[in-house]
Amino acid sequence: MDRKLLDLLVCPASRQPLALLEKAGLDALNDAIAAGSVKRDDDTPQSEPLREALVTRDRRTVYRVDDGIPVLLVEEGLATAQVQGFPTA
């Protein structure tokens, strides 16, 4: 993802800056998705694994990136509290 674009992006709900989710966080999230335990904020299940994602500064919400395009819709956010073992730093 383009660094200039990333510097401009913020969470649509909290207005916190977003950063690329690192491999450990992405792996933990995808493991939980595979187990069927991850739901979006609109309560629909997230069934597809993520190849790339953005995380808020407080690491409470993740937004997926589809083909290089961030999906920054509040209802599409994924709460990290539902992911056991999600890295906090």
Q: Give domain limits for the chain.
A: 3-82
Is pTM beyond 0.95 here?
Answer: no
Whether the predicted pLDDT of 82 surpasses 80: yes
CA angle 18, 7, 29 (to 5 degrees): 25
pLDDT of residue 7: 76
pLDDT in tens, 72-81: 999 999 999 9
Would you tell me how many other CB atoms lie within 10 Å of the CB of residue 83? 20
Give the model's confidence band at 8: pLDDT under 50 very low, under 70 low, under 90 confident, else very high. confident
Distances (CA, A) of 56 to 4, 33, 35, 70: 17, 19, 23, 13
CA dihedral of residues 66, 6, 79, 67 (deg, nearest 10): 10
